[in-house]
């Protein structure tokens, strides 16, 4: 934090109105790894409302004191800021835990009781943010209970974690349940990639600079490559992952959102609806890929970062003959005026060689390179690379003259690194998203029609997969996926970026 009061005044500081935050799934993994570390960081920067309270709701039998102790440990383990007892104590003092089965009416009444006492004692003014960090099976009961007990005081907002449905039909059903009780502007569907600084920077890069937009189209761009690579495996989440796979876990949401932000038209302003109107147009223009344009894979045994790891089928709770994909790659087209015939090659997978999320915009070759014969490593096309994570930043590959006699050309990089350019560390996605929901700003959340479009594309891909049995495993852990992913792009005379 700056010590300079003048600088302080310049900072765009938004503090939400008084409110209570109710977390359903308060003893779960997400709450510990992401939500509490984020809440602590918000408290650390004094970004939480002055009048505030947190209610944790879960089935685990424990007291508020025990729950707070577990959350303190989680903050110390996963938080990005130094642990300060006074910051934590103020936060802990606002916390109450309710042990209940969600299906139990009595439990809901107890939650309401706590909320009423928050209104009276803490001044939370009837304003509520409900965070549904629960498995999909619990969703309907909670939403109905909340809807039925909805009071007239203050505002209500509902944050809904992914997965949002399993296919278009189930997502429609969830939307129907939500829309019975809540307006669309009260529903905040999480795609945590939208909360990442570098993902938002795509908007700044494109629309705060004059030099990119004129060349951001099929005339200057040869193709786009998006990689969401993880080195971790399924991490004990087989119960969920076995029925999801890479296409539902990453492609349906994070990857398609990255395409939407890369390909969208400039919105007229940055209100939630303007931005989402432009994104949904891209999602709607995505051409359904033919079976040859999508490949899937599953990891076998291998070495990741020097350590031997088991194959997917040997992970705990995974079926011995599982056909769940842990990798997906596709060639997609955005069928509109700006992008016609420009391929978007995308891939996502677990147990790949490295953790890396990048968006690479590859421009066309220089039309008449007078240096072709003398180029050191061959004249390569310019690439604008957005490093979403790690090493967050942007880099532009350009050809430069190698110093010395003659005219030899080599590719070099002009780099912008967040770490170097800004003094502050990058906030975690959940900090931004929790704060935005409290502020009622839905720009970085997915709207019902976006989710619909995303599922429709996924449904068509999955339907084609049902026809044949994949020959899994087909890539070794610690590599860049199955050979078929290379073939997918080689067929077009292109290749995946090497890392």
Catalytic residues, which ones? 254
CA distance 347 to 237: 21
Instruction: Report the C-alpha gap between 436 and 446 in whole angstroms.
Output: 13
Cis peptide before 163 (omega within 30 of 0): yes
* Residue 5 to residue 115: CA distance in whole angstroms: 36
Measured from the CB atom, the residue of 299 and 339 that comes closer to ligand BG6 is: 299
Q: Which residue, 225 or 227, is less far from ligand BG6 as judged by CB?
A: 227
Kindly write out the interface string for residues 172-211 of this chain, putting x where it contacts ligand BG6 by CB under 6 A and - elsewhere.
----------------------------------------
Q: What angle do CA 361, 367, 371 make, to 5 degrees?
A: 105
* C-alpha to C-alpha distance for 226 and 334, rounded to whole angstroms: 14
Give me the least distance between CB of 269 and ligand BG6, in Å please: 28
> Whole-angstrom Cα distance, residue 267 to residue 349?
31
The crossing angle, in degrees rounded to 10, of helices 64-78 and 85-92 is 140
- 315 binding ligand BG6? (CB under 6 A): no
* Secondary element (H or E) of residue 132: strand 128-132
Task: Report in angstroms how near the CB of residue 119 gets to ligand BG6 at its nearest.
Answer: 34
Residue 249 interacts with ligand BG6 (CB under 6 A): yes or no: yes
- Minimum Å gap between C-beta 104 and ligand BG6 is 29
CB of 174 to ligand BG6, least distance (A): 17
Nearest approach in angstroms of CB 297 to ligand BG6 is 16
In the bound state, the residue with its beta carbon closest to ligand BG6 is: 249
Give the count of residues interacting with ligand BG6 (CB under 6 A). 2
Q: Which of residues 395-434 bind ligand BG6 (CB under 6 A)?
A: none
Q: How far apart are CA 451 and CA 187, in angstroms?
A: 13
Cβ closest to ligand BG6, residue 137 vs residue 211: 137
Task: Evaluate whether 410 touches 377 at the Cβ level (below 8 Å).
Answer: yes
Q: Nearest CA to 318 among 398, 230, 388, 237?
A: 237
Output 167 or 486, the one with its CB closest to ligand BG6. 167
230 forms part of the interface with ligand BG6 (CB under 6 A):
yes
Shorter beta-carbon distance to ligand BG6: residue 119 or 230? 230
Cα–Cα separations (whole angstroms), residue 150 to 40, 240, 459: 28, 31, 35
Residues 15 to 44 in contact with ligand BG6, rule: CB under 6 A: none
Where on the chain is the footprint of ligand BG6 (CB under 6 A)? 230, 249
């Amino acid at each position: 934090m700056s010590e300079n009061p003048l600088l302080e005044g310049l900072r765009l500081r938004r503090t939400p109105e008084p409110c209570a935050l109710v977390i359903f799934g308060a003893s779960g993994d997400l709450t510990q790894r992401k939500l509490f570390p984020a809440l602590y960081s918000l408290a650390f920067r004094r970004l939480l409302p002055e009048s505030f309270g947190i209610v944790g709701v879960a089935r685990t039998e424990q007291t508020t004191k025990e729950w707070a102790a577990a959350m303190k440990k989680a903050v110390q383990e996963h938080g990005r800021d130094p642990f300060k007892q006074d910051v934590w104590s103020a936060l802990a003092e606002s916390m109450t835990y309710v042990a209940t089965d969600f299906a139990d009416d009595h439990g809901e009444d107890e939650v309401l009781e706590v909320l009423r006492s928050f209104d009276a004692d803490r001044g939370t003014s009837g304003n509520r943010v409900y965070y549904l960090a629960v498995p999909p099976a619990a969703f309907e009961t909670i939403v109905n209970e909340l809807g039925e007990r909805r009071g007239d005081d203050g505002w209500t907002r509902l944050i809904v974690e992914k997965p949002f449905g399993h296919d278009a039909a189930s997502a429609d059903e969830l939307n129907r349940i939500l829309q019975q009780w809540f307006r669309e502007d009260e529903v905040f569907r999480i795609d945590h990639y939208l909360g990442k600084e570098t993902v938002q920077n795509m908007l700044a890069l494109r629309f705060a600079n004059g030099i990119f937009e004129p060349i951001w189209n099929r005339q200057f761009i040869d193709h786009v490559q998006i990689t969401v690579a993880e080195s971790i495996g399924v991490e004990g989440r087989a119960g969920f992952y076995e029925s999801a796979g890479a296409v539902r876990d990453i492609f349906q949401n994070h990857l398609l959102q990255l395409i939407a932000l890369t390909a969208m038209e400039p919105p007229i302003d940055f209100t939630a609806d303007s931005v989402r109107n432009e994104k949904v147009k891209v999602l709607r223009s995505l051409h359904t890929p033919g079976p040859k344009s999508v490949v899937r894979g599953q990891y076998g045994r291998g070495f990741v970062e020097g350590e031997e790891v088991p194959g997917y089928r040997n992970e705990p709770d995974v079926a011995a003959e599982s056909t769940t994909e842990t990798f997906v790659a596709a060639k997609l087209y955005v069928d509109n005026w700006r992008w016609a015939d420009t391929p978007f090659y995308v891939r996502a997978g677990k147990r790949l060689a490295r953790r890396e999320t990048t968006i690479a915009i590859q421009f066309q070759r220089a039309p008449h390179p007078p240096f072709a014969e003398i180029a050191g490593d061959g004249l390569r096309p310019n690439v604008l690379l957005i490093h979403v994570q790690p090493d967050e930043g942007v880099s532009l590959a350009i050809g430069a003259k190698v110093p010395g006699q003659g005219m030899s050309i080599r590719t070099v990089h002009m780099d912008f690194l967040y770490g170097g350019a800004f003094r502050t560390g990058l906030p975690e996605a959940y900090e931004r998203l929790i704060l935005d929901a409290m502020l009622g700003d839905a720009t970085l959340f997915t709207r019902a029609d976006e989710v619909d479009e995303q599922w429709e594309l996924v449904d068509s891909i999955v339907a084609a997969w049902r026809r044949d049995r994949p020959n899994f495993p087909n890539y070794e852990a610690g590599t860049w996926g199955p050979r078929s992913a290379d073939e997918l792009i080689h067929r077009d005379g292109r290749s995946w970026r090497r890392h």
